[in-house]
Structures are given as C-alpha cells and as structure tokens.
Amino acid sequence: MKAASNLEHVLRSGAFAVTGELGPPKNGNPEVVREKARLLKGVVDAANITDCQTAIVRMSSLTAGLIALSEGVEPVMQMTCRDRNRIGMQSDLLGASALGLKNLLCITGDHQKFGNHPQSKGVFDMDSIQMLGMVRAMRDEKRFQCGEAIKEAEPRFFLGAAANPFADPFEYRPIRLGKKVAAGADFIQTQIIYNVEKFARFMEMVRDLGLHEKAFILAGVTPPKSLGMARYMKYNVPGLDVPDGILSRLRDAKDQREEGIEIAVDIIRQVREIPGVAGVHIMAIEWEQAVAEIASRAGLLPRPAYQNVVPVLVSEATIEEAVATAKKEVEDALAHEIDRAKAEAQASRDLVAREKERVQSELTGLRKDLAAAREDVRSREAELGRMKEELLKTRQELLERPMTTVSVQPSITPSLGPEGAGETLTPRERRVLKSISAGLDALRKGLGLSEDQFSAIRHFIEAELTIHAEVFPESRAVPTPISRPMESPLPEMAPAQAEAAAPAPPEVSPEDQERRKQVTRLIAKGNVSLQKRAAQEAMEAFDAALALDPGNQKARDGLARAKGLLPAAPQAVPTAGGGIPPCPPELTPEEWQRKWVIRLVARGNVALQKGDMEGARASFEEALRIEPENAKAKKGLAAVESGAAPPPAPSEARPEPLPVSEPPPSQPSAPKPEAMAAKPAPPEPKPAPPSPSPVGVPLAVGELPRESTSLAERAEGVDKGLYLDPASGAIRAVRIGDGPSAITVGGESALPFHLFEGEMPFPPRIAFEVLDSPPEDWPEVLTRHYSDVLADPAAWARKCVNEYGAKAICLSLVSTDPNGRNLSAGEGAKAAKSVLDAIDVPVVLWGCGNAEKDTETLREITSLIGSRKVCLSPLTDANFRNLGATAMALQLPVVAATPIDVNLAKQLNILLQNLGLPLENILMDPSIGAVGYGLEYTYSVMERIRLAALTQQDDKLQVPFVCNLGREVWKAKECKLPSDDVMGDQEKRGILMEAVTAATLLLAGGELLIMRHPTAVSLTETLIKSFM
Amino acid sequence: MTEGHSNIVGFCCNYAGRVSEEVLREAGLMPDGVRIERLPCTGRLEVTTLLDALEAGADAVFVAGCEEGTCHNLSGSHRAHKKVGVAKGILAELDMDPGLVEMFFVPRAETGPLVSAAREMASRVAGGKKGQRSER
Amino acid sequence: MIIAERKPLREILEMISGMEKVLVLGCRGCVAVCSAGGDAEVDVLASALKLGRKRQGKAIHIDKDTLVRQCDPEYLEPIKTLGREYDAVLSMACGVGVNFIADRCPGVNVLPAVNTSFFGANLSSGEWKEMCAGCGACVLHLTGGLCPVARCAKSLSNGPCGGSVGGRCEIDPNVSCVWNLIYDKLSELKRSEDMKEIMPIRDWRTAGHGGPRNRRREDLLP
C-alpha cells in the first residue's frame, strides 16, 4: 500500500473501481461542495476534486477535498503545474497530507488562455511527468525536489495521472503514458471516451507495453447532458473524439438526458470488457445526480464498504450538527413507536363498529329485495296483458282494411317515435309496416319475453326505419355543419388568388406592365451607355425613360450622371462644325459657350501637340466661329498655319518607307540625326495598310552626308578655349578575339565623336546577338531574318557573319538559366564551342544572369575552347571572384556588369583590379534601358561615368562600355504590338527603336553594342561611319 | 487656402494619362486645386512622401499608378498600393480619414480615369469639409 | 534576431505631448532588419508624428538620426551631448537601446517608440516567428533542434499534452504543436527512443529567474 486510501484498497482488491468528479464552486460556499459530496457518497470509491479546471478560478482543490472528506467522500486531489511553482506545490502537498487527503492526480493543467484570466502568467515550472517524479520522491525517498530530506512525516499519496488516448500522435500516446507510469503514477484516469473502438486500440498498445500491470487504468466516461454539449465536445474541445453515432443517438432521443445516461452506461459496459481496464472515472460535469443512476444501471452498485475515510478536521458546527442529528433520530424513533401503538388501538375499535354495521345493512337489504321481486312480477304480468290486447287490436284492423292507407299508422307510430308521423305512406313503407306487424305477431307466441328483450326488438325496428328514411330524397340534411367552416374562407381567398395568378383587372395591367418594361429597358440601355461613357446616348435613353415614367428615380439619377459625364467625354460631342452642344442645366448659355470655346481651344492645343494639324485647325476654327475674337484660338490657328509645313493635304499622303536614301533636296543642311529617324512619331500621314515589309532590308540607308570642313576651319577666328574642352584622361583600349579578325574598342581621349577635341582611334563596334536555343519571345519581324538558323547557334552565327557582315558575335547562353530550360553547363559549353568553331570573329559569351550558373557554364566553356580570346560576361558582385580568376588565368577580357550606378560600376572595377585582373581587360556593362524604358537614366549614368573617366582622371572608370541593348529593345511592348494604323509598321518600329537606342548609347559613350536586327545594325553602322 | 477650394496632390506615374494637367485644367476637366506630381514610377513612392504632402497642407493625396500587368517596372504600382495601405493605417491611427489617401489604377493611355481620380478626391475633400461644418 | 513592432502612434503622441523638439533615433541592428526601427521606419514615424501633431494644432520640431547600433557604447557617444538638445529622444531600437541610452546619457530623456517582441526568425518578408526564449539552458540537442521552451505554450519537457491534435496546439489552431514537430523530427532522424526519456525539471535561473543576466569574458575585457 502506497497511501492506503479507499481507492487504493478497492483497486488492489481487484474490484472494478468507480471514481467520480466534484467541481468546486466559483465562490466560498462550502454547502455546494457538501451537497455534491452527498450525491456521490456510496456511489463512487473516490471523487476527483478539480484544480481550477479550464483555468477558471474556483475554490482550491485542497479545501474542497477536505470538505468532501468531512462528508464521507474520499477525495482525489487534483493539482496542476499552471498556478504554482515547485515551492507552492510541495507546500500544498504537505498540507493536504496533513489534512488526510490520500490521493493526488498530477496534471499539467489547461492553459490559462482558456480561462477567465487569460492575462495571467502561466507558471509551468515543470510538467505533469516531472511533478509525478517529484511527489513520488517526496513519498518514497522522503526528500524534497531540491534533494533535501523530509525529516518527519512525509506526504503519502496514491498517485494518479491523466492520459488522453485521442490526442496526436496516436502511436506516441501509450509511450507517454509509460513515461507517467515510470515517473510514479499508480493509477491513470483517461480522457472522456466516446470512441470505444479507438480506445480499445490504445489499450492494446498499453498492454503491449505491460503498463496495465504497473498502473490501474480507469476509463473516463461522461454522460452527455444534451446534443448541444456533445456537439460542443466534438468540435470545440481539443483531443476529444465524439463519433457521429453518439450525436445521432442524442438527436433521435425523446429525452436527451435519459439517452445521455444510457450512452454512459453502454460505454461503461463496453470498456469493462477491455482487458486492462481497472475501473471507470465518471465525470458528470455539473450533473452529479446522474452518477448514482449510471453506476446503478451499469451494475456497479453497491460499492465496497468504505475504508479509512476519516476526516482529520471536523468543525464545531459539524459536531453540533451530528449530535443534534443523533438526538433527533432517537426522539423520532420514540415518537414513531407511540404513534404506532395508538394507531393499532384505534384500528381495533373501528373494526368492531364496522362489523356491526355490516350485519344490519345486510338484513335490511334482504328485506327490500323480497318486496321488489314481488312488485316486479306484478308489473310484468300487467304489461304483458296490455301488449297482448294492443296487438290483437292492430291485427284486427290490418285484416279489415288490407290495401288502404294510413289506418295502421296510429297504432304503430306511438311506439316508433316521431319520424314517420303525419306523412303519407308509400307502398314500401307499407310493406315495412306489414313485416313489423308480422314480427309482432310472432311475439305474441313467445309471451315469455322480458321487458328488455322486447325493447331491444323495438329499437331495432326504429333503427331500421331511420335508415330507410335516409334513403328518401330528403338531402337537405346532408351538408353538415362541419363542412361549413371549410367552405367559408374560400370565397374570400379565391378572388385574391385569382388576382395574383391572372391579371385581375386585365384592362389596365398589360399596358402598365409594358410601359414599366420599356422604362426598365431604357434605364438599362442608359446605364450601358454610361458605362461606355456615351453621355449623349445615355441622356437620350434616360430622357425617354422619364417621358414614360416621370417619377422614376433611377432614370433621374442616370440622367444626372450622364450629364456629369458630358464634359469628361469629349468624344461624345460632335467634333467640329456641329455647333455648341446643348447647354447643361447647371450653366447659363453664356457660361456654357465660354466653357465650350475653352474646351475647343484646349482640344486644338492637344491636337497641335500631337501633330494632328488638321484636328487642331478644325478645333481652332470652330472656336473662332463661336467667339471670333478669342485670342488663344487665333494664336493656335496661327501656330497651325506656321507649323504645318506640309500643308494639310492628307489625301496626297504617300506611303513613305521612312527616311530617305538621300537628304531631301529642299533641306540641304538636314542634320544627320534626322536621317536616323530622330523623329519617331512625325505628324506625317501613315502608310495606310502596314503591309509587312519585304524580308531583307526594309530600311535602306545610303551613306550619310559628312561635314567636310573641320571644326577648326568653321570656327576660324574663334578662340579655341571657347569651344574646346579637351579631356585629361583616356579610355583604355580592350582587345577581343584572335588574329586578324580581332577587334579593339575604347582608346578614345575625347567624348564620343568629339573628334575635334581628341582621339577616337577605334570606332564603336556592334556584335550580333545569337541565342543558344531558339528564342521564345522574339517577334516574328525579328526571327524571320534568322528563321533558317534559329535552332543551330553555329549556323546562326555564321549567317550573321556571312550575310550581315557581323564583326562580332555575342552568344547568349539563355538556355542555361535555372529558371528556364536549365540546361547543364556542359550542354551550354557545347553550344558555345560549336559557335566558336564556326566563326573567326570575336565572340562575347553572355551568361544567363544567374551568378552561380554562369560561373559554372563559362568555366566549362573556357576549358573547351583552348586559347580563343572570348569575352566573358556578365561578371557581377556575386561571381566576380570565381570568373575573375578564370579570366585572369586565361587573360580573357570580361564584362563587369552593375545595376546602373556610377559607384557600383567603379567598385566592381576596383574589386576586379584588386583580384589582379588588369583594367585593360575589363569592359563595363552599366545596365541599360531601351528608348522609352529608361534610356534617359542609362544615358545620364553613362555620361557621368564617361565624364569622370575623361575629365576627372577617374582611373577605375577608364574602361569601354558594353551595351547589351538588343534584348532590352525587343522585349518592349512597342516592338511586339502588330502593325496598325496608329503605330505603323511593326518591323520598322522595332528597327527604329533599336537604332535610336543604339544611336543614343553611342552618344553616351557606348563602344561595344550588342544588337539583334540586321537592319538596325546596318543603320547604326552607317551612323558610326558618318560620325567618324 | 480658402474654404471650398481644395488642395490635392496627385502622384502620378509618368506613363499614366499622358496629357499634362495644365491642358486638362484648361479644358475644364481637372478640378481646381489639384496638383499632379509626375514620378518615373509610382513604385518609387515612399510612405513619408504621402504623409509629408498632407503635413505640408494638402487636403488629400492620391496616387495614380499603372493597372496591374502594365507597370513598366512590373510591380511598381503594386508596391505603391501597399505603401498607400500603410499611409491609410497611419491616418487611421491619427484619427484622420484614411480616405484622404487613395490609390487609383489608371490605364496608361487614357486621361479620363486620371481626371476621375482627381475628381473623386476633390469630392471626398468637399464631403469631409461639409461633414466638419455640420459637426460644428 | 530581436523582433520589435512600432507602438501605436496614439501612445507615442501621448508620451511626447507638450514636447516641442524630439529626436527620432533609429538603429541599424535587429530592428532595421525586422523593419521596425531602421532608417525607413524613422522617416515614416517622423512624418506621422509631425502630421499627428499638426492635426492636434501643436506643431513639433522633429529631427531624425539612425545609429549603427544603440547597444554599443561607441555608437552612443554623440547622443550624450546631442540628446540633451531635445525634449526627448524617441528610440526606435529594442528595449536594450532605450535602456542603454538611459544608463549612459545623463540628462537625456529617452522614450521607447517600439515594443520589443521576441527573438525570432524571418519566415518570409513581413512575417516573423518566435524561435528562442533565451532561457540560457539549451535543450535543442535533445529535441531535434526544435525548442519546446519557446514554442510550446506550456514549455513542456516531456512530449505533447492532451491538447495536441493533428499537429496543432490547442491554444490556437495556427500554432503548430512543437512537440508533434519534435516527434516527427526525431522519428525522421531515427531517434524516436529519445522521446521515452524523462527530461528532468529545468533550472530556470538561466532564463532570467535568477535575476538580470550578464556575461563576462576575461580574455576580451580591456
């Protein structure tokens, strides 16, 4: 025996134990505990006293346990780890032991979040398993948790722990139970069981571990009080498994409480069959009354006699109460005895009196009976005589007048009741009467008939007559009063229904309905127009709707919105010559006219700005028509006149395949940039159907006119200091490629093309971009030039060199991109090798942009290609070390790529130089944007870099620029939109985008351009040539 | 600033609504008191820019960025939208009407939506002022 | 890293009510990384406070500065003099920074602008999660690297409690049951046996229950 508690006795005796649960009150009233204890007394072997369950403040379990004990119920004190640290816990345990509490259930406790003080600090100094170990050590080793000895009475508890077979992970649950047993648990009470099947599986695992032999396992059972409670447990209590069968049992039950008790009883019966289950723990939450009922129905009563349930402390009041109770019991017993004797005496007296009375009344009765019998005989004789007489008389009359009517009647009717009285007899009735008389005749023979028998026959005849009477056509009685109330509401309902079903007043409704429909349709139409911002249409629709239904609010709102829209939707207004549109109601006509003129002028200005001379002219003229003196309109018109160099004759517009093989003769001094299509959107009329340009060279540019006189000559007489700002630094020249086809870029000591200020020994170069796999997002106008070679990078490169005269190739290793096709470095290298084998011109190898992959791929390539002086790119801050080392070893030029920033560019160059890479082998990719996509930003950054290099001797920036622009240009939306009237020919558009971007980058200092379209390349080369 | 005359700053993507605000105002389309600040991209916008504009006296501030999928910088207007969300949160914390900062997604080629955005903000400011008056 | 969160503006405005000159002081340490008190947040807070004060009709002068770290004395040096020029220094560093300024800068009125939340990891941009409680007695070698002290609502030592269902904690379905994770992790590492060991009661002194903690390393002391 660990603690010799009653529960321990019961369990060790091998009896199936029953424990209950007693929840202390949320106040200080001991009576609540007493009452609950009385309900459990004799029903359970021990009752668990919960410790602030669900973290709600209640009377302490120690105190309530003591009160229960004083009522003769053995408590199982529960203790959680939530509210006390090890000092408080051990202190309370000493106290509980001192007060005679012998069972302790150790649990971690519900988290404070679930209770009524969620703000409180959860202590959790230890967990339940550690607590078991601590309490066992106090009991068995007589030492506190710190190790210090407990010198005198150690607390002795029969130790319990909780287990939840339904929490996760399921397979771990028995193992955790084993930890509790190992830590000191003598008995286990499980979570509430509804899923018996799962519990059985749990028990199987428990048995496998032999735990049922080391600790007593009590199965937790709770009668569901209602369907609602069961549902709550199913869905809201974590770790509770309530099968649907339980819910449906409750749902179908007439009396849910009764069914709840039955469910609990069923579960007890089932778990009792599972080996290793030593008892049940019945938790009737706030329903302690049910425990006795459940225990009784489950055959668990009576409980073994209580042992050792002795409260250590009993209050004075309790003793007084006990004495009073005992005294009262004795008094009651005495009083009862006296009462009984008295009652017995009285009963004897009563009996004698009753017997006397009975004999007397019997005698009187007999006498009365005799007299009555005599009188009866007399009256019967008289009656029979009279009837005999009557029948004889009737018979006589019938025989006398056999076929006549009526005469029978008086003799019959009195005995047949009033039904037939006063009515003419039909032959049928007559036949009936005849039979009756025959019957009565027969009666004559049997005179021995009693009064009753006779009257029975009489009633039969009456009934027969009544039935036959109903056959007669007297149907006025048929509509019974019952059917009346059913009928009455009908006439009231019917018209209403009729009205609803079919139009009751049909002369009004169809019209009305049609009108309403039309109004709805009009409003819908108006709303659609509003959506389309067609204010005029919308207004018309709403006006029409209002004409039909002047009060319609939707139409009014719509009209107002349409009016509001009017100024915002100029396209809804006639363009020119249509006069002033109707004046909106909120303005006076003068105001409206003024506003309209302002609007026309504005529209004119917008058109002018867009280059739409004709539109502008129309707007201004219209404005002047309304207000001839309007200065702004006049000014605008004048601007149209002067600015419209090609006079407004659009019909003569001829499709002009963009600039020009030679400068137009009318403008001899036409500057070169114009030839380069510097005006991408000139007001010129478009070639109406943009038919695809012929494959090959859609834009041909001949040699551009060159300035033959030098600046010095032209500026003769001007002080050189005024226009010369010679550079103090120079850009390094970088050589790419091998042998005679090698190219050199950079080397200049002046701003781009400022040949009057310094040297520009090497012209800028253009490399054709070749992809290592067929491009996926190139527009057809671009791919068509390479359609035969797209799948073969070597052939592609060869075509560039042989057909388009490429001086260099940039091989983009796009297919190695890990986010794309993710070809291996080896495959990328193979493609590169094939290209290099196919051509002699210099090759720039451009990685996919993924730093790690590029390192891998480019290294792989360099190992394959021997001594070819390819240019490696891009080197970024993420991979410059590895690739820089490779380049240094093989003395290859590299491209240092940085995101469009002067300092970052410089920094990377410094890093590369620190690595040991000479600046003579470095080109810079400043990250560029296409025209319309950040070109201006690129330009300014490049310009700043170049100025720093040339005028501030910024050594680290004195390297040439690489501009990988083809890919930037051709991904722009403008290059992908198909040909149309507004945007013009797609290919021409793309070529110009690329050429203009290239031209701009040249002016910013670009030395090696990477481009795609052969025509764009040729345009750019022409430009370079003419500048040099 | 006089009552009834609103002072609104619109931060507008350079690519949205190409017509300049002067032209729009001259055409009677843009409400008075609306100033449009062009940005290379609304993604560049900072929360502080919005707050500072209000602190500097603007009655309301709005951002007009590109519609989804059309942003030049892919997600610029998306970022602007989030920044506007932060600014709205701050206004709410300061017991101010979060509606005084708003994000509008406008098509790149049209002017109408930009004008509607400006008008919407003007009417919010007007409504707010009216509300304040009636409170007093 | 230390995770922090800006205090509600109302609370900050309340702290500085009546003040006319305030320095908003950010920190480029943890709070910058978790976007609570770096340069960007300093800017936003300064703008918001100016706007808030303007709305109250009481304009305020606000300066902004950000230190490399507020928890190192050398970076704090300028604040000793600069801080006195202000009615208050509104520190956006974690509580360490605020304390350190208060300790080291006499005459400087330092106020906290953030709530220091926990030690966490950056799950993704804009999402952080507590991963360590700084308890000073690491048991991660026993638990597959997952911390039951920081990540279990009850700091249990011996496995998942009865509220663990489907890998979720009973206190909040969005919280994983760390003991379930530990169980899975140890199974994956073929160390399930470890789950049978009873872990002894912890010594919480190292977790701060033994008084404020400090650490000295003789070899590094000046």
Q: Give this complex's ipTM.
A: 0.88
CA dihedral angle for residue A968, residue A970, residue A975, residue A978, rounded to 10 degrees? -150
Token pair listed for A199: 């519990």
From the candidates A164, A166, A172, which should be mutated to test the interface with C, based on the most C CB atoms within 10 A?
A: A172
Q: Which of B27, B72, B112 sits opposite A602 (nearest CB)?
A: B27
Is some CB atom of chain A closer than 8 A to the CB atom of B36? no
DSSP H helices, chain B, are 21-26, 47-55, 76-93, 112-135
Please state the rounded mean pLDDT for residues C159-186: 94
Subunits with 3+ C-beta pairs closer than 8 A to B? A, C
Confidence at residue A873, expressed as pLDDT on a 0 to 100 scale? 92
CA distance A942 to A905: 10
Q: A11: alpha, beta or left, given left = phi > 0 and alpha = psi -120 to 50?
A: alpha
Chain-centre distance for alpha carbon A853: 39
pLDDT at position C28 over 70: yes
Q: Same structural domain for residues A304 and A333?
A: no
Q: Which of C9, C40, C54 sits opposite B93 (nearest CB)?
A: C9
Nearest partner of A37 among A67, A10, A57, A9, judged by Cα:
A67
CA angle A28, A32, A35 (to 5 degrees): 155
Number of domains in chain A: 4
CA distance A460 to B101: 101
Q: Are A108 and A160 in contact (CB under 8 A)?
A: no
Q: Same structural domain for residues A363 and A252?
A: no
What three-state secondary structure class fits C142?
coil
Q: Same structural domain for residues A160 and A287?
A: yes
**DSSP, res C132:** E
Please state the rounded mean pLDDT for residues B97-106: 94
Confidence at residue A522, expressed as pLDDT on a 0 to 100 scale? 83
CA distance B127 to B97: 11
From the candidates B14, B19, B116, B120, which should be mutated to test the interface with A, based on the most A CB atoms within 10 A?
A: B19
Subunits with 3+ C-beta pairs closer than 8 A to A? B, C
Q: Which domain holds residue A348?
A: 318-419
Q: Same structural domain for residues A211 and A84?
A: yes
Q: Same structural domain for residues A824 and A898?
A: yes
Last residue of a domain, one of A643, A676, A697: A643
DSSP H helices, A784-842, are 793-802, 825-838
**DSSP, res A584:** P
Token pair listed for A425: 């007899």
**DSSP, res A159:** E
Neighbours of C177 (CB within 10 A): 27
Residue A63 lies inside a defined structural domain of this protein: yes
Contact A134 C201 (CB under 8 A): yes
CA distance A580 to A566: 13
Please state the rounded mean pLDDT for residues C163-192: 94
Q: Are B84 and B90 in contact (CB under 8 A)?
A: no
The alpha-carbon gap from A286 to the nearest alpha carbon of chain B, in Å, equals 46
CA distance A186 to A220: 16
Q: Are strands A894-897 and A871-875 parallel, antiparallel or unpaired?
A: parallel
CATH of domain C2-118: 3.40.50
Q: Same structural domain for residues A803 and A879?
A: yes
Q: Same structural domain for residues A305 and A333?
A: no
Q: Are strands A733-736 and A743-746 parallel, antiparallel or unpaired?
A: antiparallel
CA distance A966 to A978: 19
CA distance A811 to A792: 12
Numbered residues of chain A with Cβ closer than 8 Å to any chain C Cβ: 81-82, 86, 108-111, 113-114, 122, 124-130, 133-134, 145, 162-164, 167-169, 172, 175-176, 178-179, 182-183, 191, 238-239
Nearest residue of C to residue A180, measured between CA atoms: C198
A-chain CB neighbours of B40 within 8 Å are: 937
The alpha-carbon gap from B75 to the nearest alpha carbon of chain A, in Å, equals 15
Residues of chain A with pLDDT under 70: 308, 313-315, 401-426, 429, 437-509, 565-579, 585, 643-701
B-chain CB neighbours of C9 within 8 Å are: 90, 93-94
* Residue pointed to by tokens 């801050």: A877
Residue B73 vs residue A433, higher pLDDT: B73
Confidence at residue A509, expressed as pLDDT on a 0 to 100 scale? 66
Residue A648 lies inside a defined structural domain of this protein: no
Is some CB atom of chain A closer than 8 A to the CB atom of C183? yes
* Residue pointed to by tokens 């080996």: A275
Contact C48 B54 (CB under 8 A): no
Residue A721 lies inside a defined structural domain of this protein: no
C-chain CB neighbours of A108 within 8 Å are: 154, 156, 161
Phi–psi pair at A659, nearest 5 degrees? -45, 120
Is some CB atom of chain C closer than 8 A to the CB atom of B51? yes
Residue A399 lies inside a defined structural domain of this protein: yes
Output the domain CATH number for residue A540.
Answer: 1.25.40
Interface size between B and C, measured as CB pairs under 8 A: 42
Q: Are A228 and A258 in contact (CB under 8 A)?
A: no
Chain-centre distance for alpha carbon A195: 31
Last residue of a domain, one of A356, A388, A419: A419
Q: Same structural domain for residues A286 and A333?
A: no
Kindly list the domain boundaries of chain C, sorted by start residue.
Answer: 2-118, 134-207
Q: Same structural domain for residues A323 and A277?
A: no
Is some CB atom of chain C closer than 8 A to the CB atom of B90? yes
Q: Which of B27, B115, B116 sits opposite A603 (nearest CB)?
A: B27
Token pair listed for A917: 């890479």
Phi–psi pair at A113, nearest 5 degrees? -60, -30
Token pair listed for A619: 């707007």
CA distance A684 to A611: 8
What three-state secondary structure class fits B63?
strand
Residue A473 lies inside a defined structural domain of this protein: no
Cβ within 8 Å of residue A429, ≥6 positions away: A420
Last residue of a domain, one of A610, A643, A676: A643
Q: Which of B23, B40, B72 sits opposite A602 (nearest CB)?
A: B23
Q: Which of C10, C13, C48 sits opposite B51 (nearest CB)?
A: C48
Given CA atoms A84, A85, A91, A93 in this order, what sign does their dihedral have?
Answer: positive
CA distance B134 to B46: 34
Fold that domain B8-135 belongs to in CATH: Rossmann fold (3.40.50)
Q: Are A510 and A480 in contact (CB under 8 A)?
A: no
H or E element: which one contains A99? none
Nearest residue of C to residue B54, measured between CA atoms: C51
Average pLDDT, chain B: 84
Q: Same structural domain for residues A637 and A773?
A: no
Nearest residue of C to residue A183, measured between CA atoms: C198
Confidence at residue B40, expressed as pLDDT on a 0 to 100 scale? 87
C-alpha pair distances (Å), B11 with each of A141, B20, B53, B107, B110: 78, 13, 10, 15, 16
B-chain CB neighbours of C50 within 8 Å are: 51-52, 55
Contact C55 B52 (CB under 8 A): no
C-chain CB neighbours of A81 within 8 Å are: 154
Q: Same structural domain for residues A411 and A513?
A: no
Q: Which of C166, C170, C201 sits opposite A126 (nearest CB)?
A: C201
Q: Same structural domain for residues A304 and A353?
A: no
The alpha-carbon gap from C193 to the nearest alpha carbon of chain A, in Å, equals 10
Nearest residue of B to residue C14, measured between CA atoms: B94
